[in-house]
A and B are shown apart, each in its own frame.
Chain A
Amino acid sequence: QQHGEQREKPLYLCSPFVEAALVKGNFKTIVVQPKYVDLTEWVAVNIFDFYQNINLFYGVVAEFCTLHSCPTMSAGANLDYTWIDSSRRQVKLPAPTYIDYVMTWVQNLLDDDNVFPTKAGRDFPTNFAQTVRHVYRQLLRIFAHIYHAHYHQILHLRSEPHFNSLFAHYLSFGAQYELFDIKDVKGTPTALVGIGDLWEKWKEMGILEQQ
């Protein structure tokens, strides 16, 4: 951990921040697939909205996420995400670069009518579910990085009720449609993801459903 000799509890796990929320109540209301509505269409519009909203909040902390402050895409004390480069090598990238890659990649997918069709009568591609899982897990990493590296700035900007709710909604949605694996949220024993504890804590508190 950055400050103190001891492993201090991260701020996002501390009261009153851990319970700060813009949206109160059960996320199921806005997560569950509406009856008779096409599942793919429902997932697609939600991913679309999540992307816009994450973009919005990354925009809030982006000025603090620099090559200097975040030379790696960190998400835990011993965890730096790696990016697979064009020659299939795992490379460490500075967080702003990594996030820029992810956001550009997702934006291009959303704009691609072959992947996220918008024209009337055009169907979703057969591998849409895989694409969505892939997108979901990359965006999850952005949340993980912001919680790990920029939460105090979120606090300075009084945005924690909003950011928490966005993330809780994101987790709730991901759980409902099985868009992530446990290890995506919790990491591995040697490389824990910071938000893993938050996930557990929110389940304990009833903010998120127990699996």
Chain B
Amino acid sequence: MSRTTPTIEQQQSKRGSDYVYFERTAAGMSDDAVPRAKTAQAKLEHFYTVSVQAAVERNQRRVELERKLQADVMMTEERKQRQLAQLGRRESTFLRLRRTKLGLDDFRTVKVIGKGAFGEVRLVQKIDTGKIYAMKTLQKSEMLKKEQLAHVRAERDVLAESNSAWVVQLFYSFQDSSYLYLIMEFLPGGDLMSMLIKYDTFSEDVTRFYMAECVLAIEAVHNLGFIHRDIKPDNILIDKDGHIKLSDFGLSTGFHKQHDSSYYQRLMDSANGVVSPTSAAQAGRNSVMVNAIHLTMSKQETIATWKANRRKLAYSTVGTPDYIAPEIFLQQGYGKECDWWSLGAIMFECLVGYPPFCSPTTHETYVKILDWRQHLIFPEDVHLSRESEDMIRRLMTSADERLPVEKIKVHPFFDGVDWNTIRDIEAPFVPHLRSITDTSYFPTEDLENVPEQPAGADTTGAKDLAFLGYTFKRFQVTSHAF
């Protein structure tokens, strides 16, 4: 046995006779040994932190219910016992979920309901419980920076804990070698993009409602320590009561081509007339095309084309840059203000019918955003109140002049908004739903060529722990489906 004899010095005088000095060294160990030990330590620390916290919370839930039942003099003893047993069952189910590994075959697709840059969104049913969820598929190979996956998971962990009414809840995630799957709550009301396609514009009152809810949602995201970076109508989802939630973030952002700094650099260069040798041929072709479109299209036609292509744009990997703040392109760093710019662009679209920089090509959109002072134009044929225009201008301005959230909330445009109760009041459009699997608010006809079942990787049967590490613990006190 090759055991290195440790250097042991005994100091019997001061300490007990058992006291041992042990000289620690990682000499002779592999390079991985120390990092591996550190990881194990961190994981175990995390495990115990979460275990203790879980015990405390479980206890609280029990004591709360016991107290509530005790105070209820009307309820029969039998019903009280049943309620306590029910709590026990829920807690037990939750424990079981911790051991549960999930894979694609645990879900049945009901319908394809959406498409994003990296994959599709499906309405699915968990086979053993019958519960309904939205499943987002993300193709790993499409994500440019794979090494960000770990980082993303960490972000997701925090998000999963958030439990904010303004953020779509994530229940499980799992992956195979090609895809990452996110199982989220299903919001049956569709998204704001579909609403804008349907209604063209909103009245100022309706716009105020959606903007006010967005303000609170963005604020909630910021309070969680995130910058969304990609707020656009496609990411503003409508729940069964017509209120909004922001769809998952921290995942897609960062992977997007538009967020790749070298991509920006090329863009900036081409905007400034610098042609990099590698992209010379391509840039040449592009510019010809740009001119061609420019010459033949009127403003009206541009808008019409943009609107007609809106969904396709949403499905493309490049995505639509229409709502992205200019500083994001400048690579000089940006803060949470960028989300308020996006909100301004969305508000413009709600009232005017198209976003401020919409152009025949995304390239032109970029150029206009960078030169927003010249291109932020309020059309004369659309009447906007003074407050509305001022609100938009105070959101769509240079980052240092953009209003912070406290000032946004007291802007005259939001006069009369009760920020504390808005989520409880009746929404302007409440979806009419015939069942828990009603998909009439989604453009399902447009998605008919998308396969019902996600492709999945070749490694069938491979399953992942349902929860994101130990952190993701979603305890549902009430059923989340209707």
Interface residues of A (CB under 8 A from B): 2-3, 9, 11, 13-18, 22-23, 29-30, 34-38, 41-42, 44-45, 48-49, 53, 56-57, 59-60, 63-64, 68-70, 110-111, 116-121, 149, 152-153, 155-159, 162, 165-166
Q: Is the CB of A36 within 8 A of B91?
A: yes
What residues of B have a CB within 8 angstroms of the CB of A110 in the complex?
A: 99
What residues of A have a CB within 8 angstroms of the CB of B6 in the complex?
A: 11, 152, 155
What residues of B have a CB within 8 angstroms of the CB of A2 in the complex?
A: 1, 3
- In the bound complex, CA of A37 to CA of B84 (Å): 10
Output the least CB separation between A46 and chain B (Å).
9
Query: Which one of B15, B43, B44, B45 has the greatest number of beta carbons of chain A within 10 Å?
Result: B44
- In the bound complex, CA of A159 to CA of B39 (Å): 10
- In the bound complex, CA of A2 to CA of B45 (Å): 32
Q: Is the CB of A118 within 8 A of B41?
A: no
A14, A37, A156: the one contacting B20 at CB < 8 Å is A14
Contacts known (A116-B99, A152-B6); A34 close to B62, Cβ less than 8 A: yes
1/0 per residue, CB under 8 A from A, across B1-16: the answer is: 1111110000000011
Interface membership of B93, Cβ < 8 A: yes
Chain B interface bracket (under 10, 10 to 19, 20 to 34, 35 or more):
35 or more
What residues of A have a CB within 8 angstroms of the CB of B48 in the complex?
A: 22-23, 30, 165
Q: List the A residue with the shortest CB-CB distance to B102.
A: A118
Interface membership of B95, Cβ < 8 A: yes
What residues of B have a CB within 8 angstroms of the CB of A156 in the complex?
A: 24-26, 29
Output the least CB separation between A116 and chain B (Å).
6
Q: Which of B129-150 contact A (CB under 8 A)?
A: 129
What residues of A have a CB within 8 angstroms of the CB of B2 in the complex?
A: 68-69
Query: Which one of A38, A110, A120 has the greatest number of beta carbons of chain B within 10 Å?
Result: A120
- In the bound complex, CA of A53 to CA of B44 (Å): 7
Q: Is the CB of A15 within 8 A of B18?
A: yes
Interface membership of B34, Cβ < 8 A: yes
Q: Is the CB of A36 within 8 A of B99?
A: no
Interface membership of B96, Cβ < 8 A: yes
Give 9 CB contacts A-B under 8 Å: A16-B19, A18-B18, A34-B58, A44-B96, A60-B36, A63-B32, A69-B3, A120-B129, A159-B40
- In the bound complex, CA of A166 to CA of B51 (Å): 13
Interface membership of B33, Cβ < 8 A: yes
Output the least CB separation between A203 and chain B (Å).
16
B19, B30, B43: the one contacting A15 at CB < 8 Å is B19
Interface membership of B335, Cβ < 8 A: no
Q: Is the CB of A56 within 8 A of B93?
A: no
What residues of A have a CB within 8 angstroms of the CB of B30 in the complex?
A: 63
- In the bound complex, CA of A156 to CA of B27 (Å): 9
Interface membership of B75, Cβ < 8 A: no
Interface membership of B55, Cβ < 8 A: yes
Query: Which one of B18, B55, B93, B98 has the greatest number of beta carbons of chain A within 10 Å?
Result: B18
Output the least CB separation between A124 and chain B (Å).
10
What residues of B have a CB within 8 angstroms of the CB of A166 in the complex?
A: 44
A118, A149, A165: the one contacting B101 at CB < 8 Å is A118
1/0 per residue, CB under 8 A from A, across B239-250: the answer is: 000000000000
1/0 per residue, CB under 8 A from A, across B87-111: the answer is: 1110111011011110000000000
What residues of A have a CB within 8 angstroms of the CB of B24 in the complex?
A: 155-156, 158
Known: A2-B3, A120-B129. 9 other contacts (CB 8 A): A18-B18, A37-B88, A45-B96, A53-B43, A59-B36, A60-B40, A149-B1, A152-B3, A162-B41
B20, B22, B84, B99: the one contacting A44 at CB < 8 Å is B99
- In the bound complex, CA of A30 to CA of B26 (Å): 34
What residues of A have a CB within 8 angstroms of the CB of B43 in the complex?
A: 53, 56
4 A-B pairs with the lowest CB-CB distances in the bound complex, closest first: A36-B88, A157-B37, A38-B92, A14-B20
- In the bound complex, CA of A166 to CA of B55 (Å): 17
1/0 per residue, CB under 8 A from A, across B32-69: the answer is: 11101100110111011001100100110010000000
Q: Is the CB of B40 within 8 A of A63?
A: no
What residues of A have a CB within 8 angstroms of the CB of B100 in the complex?
A: 118
Q: List the A residue with the shortest CB-CB distance to B15.
A: A15
Output the least CB separation between B143 and chain A (Å).
28
Q: Is the CB of A157 within 8 A of B33?
A: yes
Q: List the B residue with the shortest CB-CB distance to A19.
A: B18
Interface membership of B78, Cβ < 8 A: no
Interface membership of B458, Cβ < 8 A: no
- In the bound complex, CA of A2 to CA of B2 (Å): 9
Contacts known (A35-B62, A36-B62); A48 close to B99, Cβ less than 8 A: yes
Q: Is the CB of B91 within 8 A of A34?
A: yes
Interface membership of B85, Cβ < 8 A: yes
What residues of A have a CB within 8 angstroms of the CB of B22 in the complex?
A: 11, 17, 152, 155
- In the bound complex, CA of A45 to CA of B58 (Å): 15
Q: Is the CB of A36 within 8 A of B87?
A: yes
Output the least CB separation between A92 and chain B (Å).
15
Output the least CB separation between B131 and chain A (Å).
9
Q: Is the CB of A17 within 8 A of B37?
A: no
Contacts known (A118-B101, A156-B29); A41 close to B62, Cβ less than 8 A: no
Q: Is the CB of B84 within 8 A of A36?
A: yes
Contacts known (A36-B84, A68-B2); A120 close to B40, Cβ less than 8 A: no
